Structure 1
């Protein structure tokens, strides 16, 4: 019978982040190896293609290993860390024919809070399932190589034990000191599935290894030591070609195919640029937000036949109306109305007149789906890249409400605290590229939306006003639209209405 174990090593994997996200990058570890963590304590800060979130660990115990350096990108389901959890008093020893690590996880089920749902805390522990016994050790399915990052460290709870003379098969498996001697039958206690995979890929027999971890657990360091010994032996036996007598000045070639390559997981790609040997190229990985933008823009350009029209508008009266709004507000009452909020309110009024631009296209059904509510996205440039937060139900909000929501979402975007739900579901996008000091643009539509309104900078220009030449504040407006949804007449009518509202804000009173 296998001995009872006092320490349970549980592996916490990167949970499902929701919103269709399949990977995340480690931005900051909140714990280190050897730290004691509580149930549901945040242990790592990760950056997805949509937000920056803290991931809580559902286990409580001592951190024994961290997987992946800061900057590493991991797929969902990849190991994040391992936690040593004390087994409850009186826990039964695992059955001889049951894998040790499965028995360890079952023994500590009450010490975890269950699966993690990022952004919503952790759920209750799932009901314990009935365990199925097998006739021999069960090998867990090998995950893809990209899901196996290299651990940063493994904490040795006890010093390595000296090797004792090998015993017979029955003595080794039945002794109370199991885990300190090589074993030939029964379950093999391994600290994590990653160690099993590493051993399998390098043809290391776990039954002949001595575990140096807690209670004889075989750790990654044990397997790597065995691999190193095997490579040293192989290198000593590697033949070399004899040098050609007539060309003794050349170095002796070696058989490069005998060199065993080291395993580098895909998830361990660094955000630092990779310099080519010649120094002529610098490559940057398309990960995180940059990767999401690349994917969405490529899909938009492939699927949407967009067209752009633009017009210049005199924004002098709009600036005066904004000044009057902010001047009429009493000191300390509310926030000042921004120009972006006014353009948002104008856009909503224009969409009420031209609802086809608040649509999406279902090519499988060959239908244009006209949407009832306006969820207004707006482009926001942050240190992490371009993001598009969404103002929900903008068609039911007042100008002040839209303004407050824009301020709140912008601050969250700059702090990297937007949730995936705040970055998805938009139906129309407002792009204020004038903040970059440019007049016009032909943007790519934010798939799967049907249109995007662009606003350039507002600058003083010569303008004919009431039959006379005058200096007025002029803005260039552009509308990029999906030509499958509407034709130029609809798009032109929408843009002209927006320009009329900018030049004469009183036009908005008809739709308020």
Structure 2
């Protein structure tokens, strides 16, 4: 007899308590293997594919795409351990969704697997499973089950299944005669959801914008590649809805107003001010709001700044990138050079590479530098972390910054890549601004802000000249050090920017 196991949204770590369903990777009726990803969710830190610890037939899903679920809420149910085995090996016939022929790993077959007999692998994070490749999405062949929709939409599956071959078929709720079927789930299944398939939209921002304005994404025709729904499509739909509502309002007001009435005597609703827009603080924006509020509440911060002549630094960078021959490496960015200068400065002033244990009333100086850098993405501001930056040179730091930036833009950063930083570098000069007062990335002790590098009049060697000038701002936790230490750190950074040869002493 098939046994129905319920898979709940697992704890994805880092104190996360909820996640939003971005995209289902399986449908009701699919055969899944142990540790196969079944749903893509968005947490306050990253996009995560969640694998299922059970192997069997998906009998129900809980939550539409765009729904926010708390940790511990049911995600789906899986029927496992049926007599005869729900084997997934053997040829697979392409179904309506276009799956290719292939074979599933033996770990997903019948109830003989040790992992399945114990209730599943127990693993919930990608990369920490059994190591077997994920099986392709399959459904039980229609000739093995009587697919007769019921009014309630309940799904029942015949317990004895003797044949191993399976093929893709439309995911329609089914039932069997009560004398030959064993019900495994009574959860309602939306026929529209299964027949329509996933909504062709990737960006969580687009989904959130559509929810806020009650836009049905299934009714939009995407203008992106392969019909992908873009933000411009949602914005266009919002404008159309607003114009339609405004037209209806004007028509109703004109019909209600008496003939010959002046505009001043019209209904008060005609001059009513539009309602303020309310945007929920959740997801990445909510996480950023919580962290910044906590930083301002707990950390007594202070800021110091200095203007530096970056002409020599820009010249050194140009020389590095112009080098040719076997010794020439990839291009080095200004941010990578500043990051390397920061690691050298932190070696001289370790007080700023620390945190404060408020309960123990202790300053904890950290042994290594995990350098965070602020990156603006479509999902909002994120801070990827370059691990062990103190052991890397400028070229290595630059390569890692480029890799993490690309992951941030595509929303594929893991929670581990967004946490654990000990010092943050914030280059807000890319937005065309000269200066700012950074807010410390709690629970770190300092952040260095870098403005734009631009030509300005500057006294150089006793004469007025046009030089490449940049403003550097350091915000620091006044509990870990005094102004002398912070000033010394910032002055050393500025000296390295003005005279890169100073950095050679520490290399």
TM range (shorter): 0.5 to 0.7
Q: What is the deviation of 1:467? A: 1.3
**Which one of 122, 125, 129 corresponds to residue 118 of structure 1?**
125
State the match for 2:417 in structure 1: 422
Matches within 5 A, 1:201-220: 215-216=182-183, 219-220=186-187
CA distance in 1, matches of 2:306, 2:283: 35
Q: Does residue 391 of structure 2 align to residue 384 of structure 1?
A: no
Query: How far has the Cα of 1:472 moved from its partner?
Result: 0.8
Q: 1:157 to 1:282 in 2, by over 3 A?
A: farther
- TM-score when normalising by structure 2: 0.67
Q: Judging changes above 3 Å, is the alpha-carbon distance between structure 1 residues 288 and 453 closer, same or farther for their aligned structure 2 residues? A: same
- In structure 1, C-alpha distance between the alignment counterparts of 2:298 and 2:503, rounded to whole Å: 35
User: Which residue of the partner structure matches residue 259 of structure 2?
Assistant: none
Q: Who is 2:475 aligned against?
A: 480
Q: CA deviation at 1:157?
A: 5.8
Using the TM superposition, give the Cα deviation of residue 18 of structure 1 relative to its aligned residue in structure 2, in angstroms. 1.8
Which of 309, 313, 316 in structure 2 is aligned with 1:314? Answer: 309
**1:380–1:386: 8 Å Cα contact kept in structure 2?**
yes
CA deviation profile, 1:467-505 (whole Å, cap 9, x unmatched):
111111110100000111111111111111111110110
CA distance in 2, matches of 1:468, 1:75: 64
Question: In 2, Cα distance between the equivalents of 1:85 and 1:15?
Answer: 20
Hey, what does 2:502 align to over in structure 1? 507
Shift of 1:422: 1.3
Q: CA distance change for structure 1 residues 315 and 432 in 2, over 3 Å: closer, same or farther? A: same
Alpha-carbon distance, 1:122 to partner? 2.3
The answer for the alignment partner of 2:53 in structure 1 is: 58
Distance of 2:402 and 2:502 partners within structure 1: 26
Cα–Cα, structure 1 residues 270 and 461, in superposed 2: closer, same or farther, change >3 Å? closer
1:454 aligns with 2:449: yes
Matched, 1:300 2:295: yes
Is there any run of 5+ residues in structure 2 with no aligned partner, and where?
A: 86-110, 132-144, 153-176, 190-206, 215-244, 246-272
1:335 aligns with 2:302: no
Q: Work out which of the residue numbers 63, 66, 75 in structure 2 matches 1:71.
A: 66
Query: Are 1:431 and 2:417 an aligned pair?
Result: no
Residue 323 of structure 1 is matched in structure 2 by 318
Choose which of 438, 444, 467 in structure 2 pairs with 1:443: 438
The whole-number CA distance in structure 2 between the counterparts of 1:58 and 1:214 is: 25
The answer as to whether partners of 1:390 and 1:426 remain within 8 angstroms in 2 is: yes
CA 1:159–1:419: 2 relative to 1, 3 Å? closer
- How large is the Cα RMSD of the aligned pairs? 3.4
Secondary structure in 2 aligned to 1:283?
coil
Listed as ranges, the gaps of 5+ residues in structure 1 are 91-103, 125-154, 163-209, 223-268
TM value normalised by structure 1: 0.67
Question: Aligned with 2:397: secondary structure?
Answer: helix
Larger radius of gyration: 1
Q: In structure 2, do the counterparts of structure 1 residues 468 and 58 end up closer, same or farther at CA, with 3 Å as the change threshold?
A: same
Does structure 1 retain, via aligned residues, the 8 Å contact 2:438–2:473?
no
Q: CA deviation at 1:61?
A: 2.7
